[in-house]
Structure 1
Amino acid sequence: MDLKDLIVTPIYFSLILFVAFVLRPYFTTETTRKYFIPALSARLVAAILLGLLYQYYYNGGDTYNFHTRGSEIIADVFWENPISGLKLLFSNGNNIKGLYYATSEIPFYRDSSSFMIIRIAAVFDLITFSTYSATALFFALFSFSGLWVLYNVFIYYFPRQTNLLAYSVLFVPSVIFWGSGILKDTITLGALGWLVFGIHQVFFLRNGVFRNSLIILISSWLIFQIKIYLLLAIIPAIMIWFFLRQISSIRNIVLRSLVAPVLLIIGILAAYYSAINVTRDDPRYSVDALAKTARTTAYDIAFWTGRSAGSTYDLGEMDGTFVGLLRLAPKGVLVSLFRPFPWEIRNALMAFLSIESFLILLLTIYVLIRAGGIRFFRSLSNPVIFFCMVFSLVFAFAVGVSTYNFGSLARYKIPLIPFYLSMLVMILDYSKSDRNIGDAQATE
């Protein structure tokens, strides 16, 4: 960050908030309006703070390389020669005649997922004069938009929980902070929210089929390009959500009991084969190579990231087999949701992560006790609740066993947190409704 940030960023910060105030009536209701500006503002501020953290605490890092050694170079080439700039912007890591001087300065040029972030940032750099913090504001805006539409999907089914769902989706500190800068996580988080929104609109509500189908395609493409393993977690959850919804729509209890097992098996098989086809052409995430990829990624992150800070963790030996990976599933879920424990804190950032994780653990225990065993399992019959649970646990397992570093895990796990916390809120609401029905029947 330099003097340019102090001049350009306040202008765009004010402009984004002004437009948000103007558009707020079109995207909110009387009950959700109060959350719109605070949730957006928190992300805009976090985008700036994250840049300062990487510059003055980490002395570099991914977000620095994505911009200073990535998008800024593309923007400079574009202003010198728009044709060359467009070639660089739409390249796929291939050699471009006459542009070696530029591509050789971009460390992530041949890393397709990282270069996608660079290309997105470069587009915003063209209107922000390559100002890091101003470009980061647009990343934060996209992340906010995805979470806002996700929030609206959840309150559609649980309208009595607009307050608690707002805190679960929009105001979790780690999600705000790590999901607001020039990072892969920011784009995939926003795209994930838009994907769920598009699926809900097209397949469940039949609203704006063409427009929302485009939203599904674009958001899926972004996730596929940046973090394909996120699709491995969300697609099965969506497929199961869809089939459970079909089952719950059958009013005849006898017919439902006969059809439910068949539809559920079809849903599970459809989810499995959909996930396989998504990663079929990617040698890293095919079913055969998934365990080896997880092992390599975990050990690489543990070795190269945070060793001096003492933030690595170990779930046990990974033998590179899928069965061996599944044995670590409980530990993977545990570390993603509830660790680091207080006695594992080694630095300030781990302390904040530990506090948040401990609060999530307390909330989980409270919900389990409050709902009770029978009502808890009954709540899982709700398609939305089951959808959130499947995605949360599958993704928690995936990032938990493939990270082995608490600092990196804080970033990687943010997509699951809004779904997991929202699931807990929904279970409370569902169990309360179930309890009220039982009390009413008891008094008859």
Structure 2
Amino acid sequence: MKYTEFTLSDYVFFIAYLVLFSLIAIAIYFKHEKNPEYRYFLPHFFWKVFMGFLMAFVYIYTYGGGDTTAYWQGSYILNNLFYESPGAYFTELFNPVIKGHIPNYYNARTGIPPVWIYNEPNSWFVCKLSSLFSFFTFNSYLGLNLFYSVITSIISWKFFRFLNSFLTIQTKYIAYAVLFIPTVGFWCTGIMKDSVAYSSLLVVIMGLFKILQRKYTFMTIVSTLIGIWFIFVTRSFLLMPIAVPFFIILIFRLNSTQPFVIKFVTRMVGVAIAILSIGFFINDAALFGEFSSDNLTATANTIYLDFQNNSGYTGKRYDLGISEVNSVTMISVIPNAILTTLYRPFLWEADNALMLINGVESSIFILLTIGIIRRKKQTVLPVSKNSIYTKDFMLFCVLFMLILAYFVGLTSGLYGVLARLKAPVLPFFLLFVFSQLRRVKYINILEHS
């Protein structure tokens, strides 16, 4: 069944669950209202609910459906399969799909999965995941979308509180970066692959830094492993910009007490290994999904030229100024690709309401970057564990956003695709920007006492 408009059932279950979740959120707020962090709790909760509903509304009444409704349709069919044959349901849930082959336990009573979704394992995984929640929403699209909004809000909130526990950045700036970016709110809240990948990304990064800080529990390890698995089966290319920066930070941390020569050599070796791993990714990394096959150069060339020339893709395109993607151009366009991800579309490039919002957002990022360049005043702070953790995390932010921004800018081609894929970059870019607006110089008070 194709979903084309909100139904009475949608509104009923959406409102019912919204009332329930709102009451729980309000109760949580009043329980912690003396904690200054919680001034952002309810605004963030309702922001996520609003952005999730807005995404659903735009997709249904502007685009006439799309990925989000196909994910819902897949979950609806899986639920029908469960009621008809629980064994077949669990077989489908825990076994990989065979591309081009739809099992015969799907029939007229259960419905047939959308072929274009079923043939993409990462997309069908979102349907499987959605089916687990869909049992509680009684096949209501808006109800399921609300579940995604609430779950993603919980994960973003936990990530915000974790960062606020050690970053030497004002709480309000951490909140702006992690909780209230429009692009992230729109694309990473509702029933979307982006929501699953982005939330898993936050869980993994939070888990890795808790382990680095030795503040982890058994559940931290479990949630981190689950997050890694979710990223692997949805947007596996995100693993590389996580792993490389974290590996470099680990090397820097482990040899921090060594003599200068040993420290220099081991860090150079660590950086070289990280660079070689990126080279491996570019040349032969089949596990990185849509960003690579046997050779990322060929794949990037196919994606880029397809988006540039195929009239079947609707939406405004951008051009990096290259005629084809090869090893030479992949290096030459590094600055342009990164700048495109971080700062485009420009305001004058917008041709619809969503792009206009992206343009305003990009303009703010440009102004903030100019603010970094112009600001020269330093604030001297003593070295502490928090300042060390902040420096580690800022190094991670820089490396993560540069690596991911490059590949996103290189392969997106359309502004609509760019907006979706660059969403995970933006919080880390803003965190770095806010850390630099007040330039900090750390002094070791033990050495100067």
Q: Which TM-score tier does this pair reach, normalised by the shorter chain?
A: 0.7 to 0.9
For residue 383 of structure 2, what is the aligned residue in structure 1? none
1:3 is displaced (CA, Å) by: 0.8
SS at match of 2:117: coil
Distance, in Å, in 2 between the alignment partners of 1:361 and 1:292 is: 32
* 1:227-277 deviation per Cα after TM superposition (whole angstroms, max 9, x unaligned): 0111121111221222233355x3xxxx45333323323432454566658
Aligned residue number for residue 224 of structure 1: 232
2:71 is the alignment partner of 1:66:
yes
- How is 1:42-191 mapped onto 2 (pairs within 5 angstroms)? 42-68=47-73, 70-94=74-98, 95-99=102-106, 102-103=111-112, 105-191=114-200
Between Structure 1 and Structure 2, the one with more helix by share is 1
Task: Give the aligned residue type for 2:230.
Answer: L
Note the C-alpha offset of 1:92: 1.9
Matched, 1:292 2:301: no
Which residue of 171, 196, 202 maps to 1:193? Answer: 202
Tell me by how many angstroms 1:86 deviates. Answer: 2.6
Output the CA distance in 1 between the equivalents of 2:289 and 2:176.
39
Secondary structure of residue in 1 paired with 2:213: helix
Instruction: Give the AA of the match of 1:112.
Output: P
| 1:168-203 Cα deviation digits (max 9, x unpaired) | 111111111111111111111111110011111123
Q: How far apart are residue 83 of structure 1 and its match?
A: 2.6
In structure 2, C-alpha distance between the alignment counterparts of 1:26 and 1:284, rounded to whole Å:
45
2:340 corresponds to 1:335: yes
The offset of 1:204, in angstroms, is 2.1
CA contact (8 A) 2:371 2:437 kept: no
In the alignment, structure 1 residue 202 sits paired with structure 2 residue 214: no
Identify if the C-alpha distance between structure 1 residues 76 and 93 changes in structure 2 by more than 3 Å, giving closer, same or farther: same
Q: Which whole-Å CA distance do the structure 2 matches of 1:270 and 1:27 have between them?
A: 46
Which runs of 5 or more residues in structure 2 are unaligned?
1-5, 381-386, 445-449
Cα distance between partner residues in 2 of 1:283 and 1:433: 41
Post-superposition CA distance 1:251-304 (Å, at most 9, x none): xxxx45333323323432454566658945457656961122222223334455
| Structure-to-structure mapping, 1:420-431, within 5 angstroms | 420-429=429-438, 431=439
Which SS does the other structure have where 2:351 is aligned?
A: coil
Change (3 A) 1:302 1:43: farther
* Residue 2 (1) aligns with residue 7 (2): yes
Calculate percent identity across the aligned residue pairs: 28
Give the 3 Å change call, closer, same or farther, for CA 317–47 of structure 1 in structure 2: same
1:158-177 deviations in Å (ceiling 9; x for gaps)? 24511111111111111111
Q: Distance in 2 between matches of 1:126 and 1:400?
A: 38
Residue 36 (structure 1) aligned to one of 32, 35, 41: 41
What is the one-letter code of the residue matched to 2:157?
W
Q: TM-score, with normalisation over the residues of structure 2?
A: 0.85
1:315 aligns with 2:312: no
Rate the CA distance shift 1:287–1:407 in 2: closer, same or farther, 3 A.
Answer: closer
CA change 1:286–1:88 in 2 (3 A) is closer
Are 2:423 and 1:417 aligned?
Answer: no
Query: How do 1:268-417 residues align onto structure 2 when only pairs under 5 Å count?
Result: 268-272=271-275, 276=280, 279=285, 281=287, 285=291, 289-303=295-309, 309=315, 311-317=316-322, 319-371=324-376, 382-417=391-426
TM-score (norm 1): 0.86
**Change over 3 Å in CA distance of 1:305–1:147 after alignment to 2:** farther
Are the structure 2 counterparts of residues 283 and 387 from structure 1 closer, same or farther at C-alpha, using a change threshold of 3 Å? closer
CA distance in structure 2 between the partners assigned to 1:180 and 1:323 by the alignment: 37
Q: Out of 13-22 and 414-423, give the one that drifted further.
A: 13-22
Change in CA separation of 1:331 and 1:306 when aligned onto 2, cut-off 3 Å:
farther
Q: Distance in 2 between matches of 1:77 and 1:162?
A: 47
SS of the equivalent of 2:411 reads coil
Cα offset, 1:348, TM superposition: 2.0
Paired residue for 1:262?
Answer: 265
Q: Is the 8 A contact 1:318 1:325 kept in 2?
A: no
Distance of aligned partners of 1:272 and 1:308 in 2 relative to their CA distance in 1, 3 Å threshold: closer
State the SS of the aligned residue for 1:107.
helix
C-alpha separation in 2, matches of 1:266 and 1:207: 28
Distance 2:340 2:62 in 1: 25
Contact 1:371 1:432 in 2 (8 A): no
1:407 CA drift (Å) = 1.4
Q: Deviations over 1:355-394 (max 9, x none)?
A: 1101101001102211479x9xxx9992221110111111
Letter in 2 for 1:171: F
Gapped runs of 5+ residues in structure 1? 439-444
SS in structure 1 at match of 2:35: coil
Query: Is the partner of 1:93 in helix, strand or coil?
Result: coil
CA distance in 2, matches of 1:158, 1:41: 25
SS at match of 1:108: helix
